[in-house]
């Protein structure tokens, strides 16, 4: 379940990441919505992933992690969602990994549906 999430974390999942690394299987860095498929776009902005994002943030609300996320700028928000934070206890960091892994897997399935 965490495999795709870990690929996102190391920069080997999204089209913009693969394109930047010159993967021959990727002809352009663009998402199926037409915008560059960056981590920020994928996690926070892609219009194709509204429902998946709502599910992610609902999960964050149940863990009170949304309070931390809301206060961060975009760069720090992405960093937090991908890697957690050293000041969080292990159970909250584990919950964040679980929520993000689910979000990534569901989002990839959703994007594939737009073939």
pLDDT in tens, 67-80: 889 999 999 999 99
Furthest-apart CA atoms within the chain: distance in Å: 42
30: which residues sit within 8 A by CB, 6+ positions away? 15, 36, 37
| Distance between first and last Cα of the chain | 22
pTM: 0.92
- Count of domains observed in the chain: 1
Residue 109 neighbours by CB distance under 10 Å: 10
For residue 102, give both structure tokens. Answer: 């689910």
pLDDT tens-digit map of 48-104? 999 999 999 999 999 889 888 999 999 999 999 999 999 999 999 999 999 999 999
Show the domain range for 76: 3-113
27: which residues sit within 8 A by CB, 6+ positions away? none
């Amino acid at each position: 379940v965490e495999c795709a999430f870990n690929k996102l974390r190391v920069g080997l999942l999204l089209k913009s990441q693969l394109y930047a690394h010159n993967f021959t299987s990727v002809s352009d860095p663009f998402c199926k919505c037409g915008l560059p498929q960056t981590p920020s776009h994928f996690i926070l902005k892609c219009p194709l992933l509204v429902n998946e994002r709502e599910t992610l943030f609902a999960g964050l609300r149940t863990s009170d992690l949304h309070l931390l996320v809301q206060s961060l700028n975009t760069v720090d928000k992405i960093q937090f969602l991908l890697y957690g934070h050293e000041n969080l206890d292990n159970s909250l960091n584990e919950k964040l990994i679980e929520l993000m892994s689910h979000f990534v897997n569901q989002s990839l399935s959703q994007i594939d549906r737009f073939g």
